[in-house]
Structure 1
Amino acid sequence: MASVAARRALRDRVRAHRAASAARREVARAARRVRHTARSLTTHVIATGADRATAKGVVKALQGVAKTARTNGLKGKRARIRRTAQGFKRHAVTAYRYTRAQVSQIAAQYKPRKAEYKAVRAALIAV
């Protein structure tokens, strides 16, 4: 019979493999979606393979750049989505979806300072 420590090590290894596999599937799914149609900035950033914390920071910065780009003529496709707030309220918000070419134009105007953000920017520009 295996010891408790051996079972715990096996369980932890299985969980780590499962989490890594889920992350790979998420990146592959996002990459497939952005190839076919306009998607949100979040989906484009996830498709580059960025982790969650980096993706969140880059998306917030890109949304600010995209807002100024909208006034300069770079318009994404408007979509009305229903967002839940605190688990039960569903109110409509306007979201913008961008093609890969539009995202590369937005990313070209984005000037990050952190090295991780610069890597994501380079991946977004390389269409």
Structure 2
Amino acid sequence: MASANSRRAAALIRNRARANREQGRVRRAVITAARRVRSGPRSLATHIIATGAPLDVVAGAADALRTQARKAGIRGRAARIRRTLRGHARRVVTVYRYTAEQVAQIVANYKPRKAEYKAIRAALAAA
């Protein structure tokens, strides 16, 4: 029978390993997104992920930037992808990819209120 201390120590090690794996996944996502942004036009979400923004605010910030792009008349390069919904029904969807220069133009018009979005705006403007 294992003692309470050894069970606690094992749980601590498991939790630390789990947290390290999560940090590694986030770090790899940021590095991959940054490389893809340098290589050509990408989605607004990819540009935001490349800044190292938390993944829980990426969708909201991308929606806000998409709205600003529409207002500014900036239209990215259209691409057709097959979006999988609930594991099946791969529907063809039109998406738009933006260059770094286009993202800089969009960010110039973007005036966020939330602190997280302000940090994303600063990072995109600096990139």
TM-score (norm 1): 0.91
Q: Deviations over 1:32-54 (max 9, x none)?
A: 11011000001000001111121
**Can you list the C-alpha shifts for 1:64-99, whole angstroms capped at 9, x where unaligned?**
1122233xxx22111011111222111111100011
**Runs ≥4 residues deviating over 4 A:** none
Alpha-carbon RMSD across the aligned residues, in angstroms, is 1.3
- Unpaired segments ≥5 residues, structure 2: none
Measured in 2, the distance between the counterparts of 1:104 and 1:123 equals: 10
1:104 corresponds to: 104
Alignment partners' CA distance in 1, 2:16 and 2:126 = 35
1:42-61 paired onto structure 2 within 5 Å: 42-61=45-64
Q: CA–CA distance in 2 between the matches of 1:85 and 1:10?
A: 37
Question: SS of the residue aligned with 1:52?
Answer: coil
Listed as ranges, the gaps of 5+ residues in structure 1 are none
Residue 34 (structure 1) aligned with residue 37 (structure 2): yes
Residue 117 of structure 2 corresponds to 117
- SS of residue in 1 equivalent to 2:57: helix
Tell me which residue corresponds to 2:77. Answer: 77
Shift of 1:109: 1.1
Residues 105, 125 of structure 1: 8 Å contact kept: no
Identity %: 53
Q: Quick one: which amino acid aligns to residue 116 of structure 1?
A: E
Number of matched residues? 124
Q: Hey, what does 1:91 align to over in structure 2?
A: 91
* Partner Cα distance (2:56, 2:107) in 1: 18
Q: Secondary structure at the match of 2:53?
A: coil
Give SS of 1:79's match: strand
- Helix, strand or coil for the counterpart of 1:82? strand
* Aligned partner of residue 41 in structure 2, secondary structure: coil
Q: Aligned partners of 1:68 and 1:92: how far apart in 2?
A: 26
Structure 1 residue 113: deviation in Å? Answer: 0.1
Letter in 1 for 2:34: A
> Does residue 18 of the first structure (1) align with residue 16 of the second (2)?
no
